[in-house]
Homo-oligomer: A and B are copies of this chain.
Amino acid sequence: MKDVAKLAGVSTSTVSRVISKTMFVDDKTKARVEEAIKKVNYRPNLVARGLRSKSGNLIGLLVPEVIHTTFAFFIKYIEESVARYGFNLILCNTHNDPETEELFIDSLLRRNVDGIIFSRVSDKSRVLRILENTNVPIVVIDRALGSENVHIPAVLLDNYKAGCMAAEYLVSCGHTEIACITGPLDILLSRDRLEGFRATLEKHSINLKNELVCEGDFKFDSGKKAIDCLMAAKKRFSAVWAQSDLMAIGVMREFSRLGFSLPDDVSVIGMDNTNLVEMVTPTLTTIAQPFQDMCDTAVDLIMRKISDGEDILYKRVVLDPVLMVRESVKKV
Contacts and interface: CB of A to CB of B under 8 A. Distances in A.
B66 A79 contact: yes
Contacts of A75: 66, 75, 91
Interface string A46-82: 1110110000101000000111100011011001100
Contacts of A250: 279
Contact of A43 (B48, B92, B106): B106
Interface of A is mostly: helix
- What bracket does the count of chain A residues touching chain B fall in? 35 or more
Q: Please list the 8 inter-chain residue pairs (A to B) with the smallest Cβ-Cβ separation, ordered nearest first.
A: A66-B76, A91-B91, A256-B281, A46-B110, A68-B275, A47-B50, A47-B51, A46-B111
Contacts of A252: 281
Interface in A280-306: 280-281
B56 A47 contact: yes
A90 B111 CA distance: 12
- How many copies of the chain does the oligomer comprise? 2
B76 A93 contact: yes
A278 B220 contact: yes
A88 B58 CA distance: 12
Nearest to A65: B76
A274 B66 CA distance: 13
A90 to B, nearest CB: 5
Interface of A: 43-48, 50-51, 56, 58, 65-68, 72-73, 75-76, 79-80, 83, 88-93, 100, 104, 106-112, 220, 246, 249-250, 252-253, 256-257, 274-276, 278-281
A220 B279 contact: yes
A91 B253 CA distance: 34
Contacts of A111: 46-47, 56, 88
A263 to B, nearest CB: 14
6 contacts: A44-B110, A46-B110, A79-B91, A79-B93, A279-B279, A281-B281
Given A75-B91, A90-B91, A257-B281, 11 more contacts: A45-B112, A46-B107, A67-B73, A68-B276, A79-B91, A79-B93, A90-B90, A249-B279, A253-B279, A253-B281, A276-B276
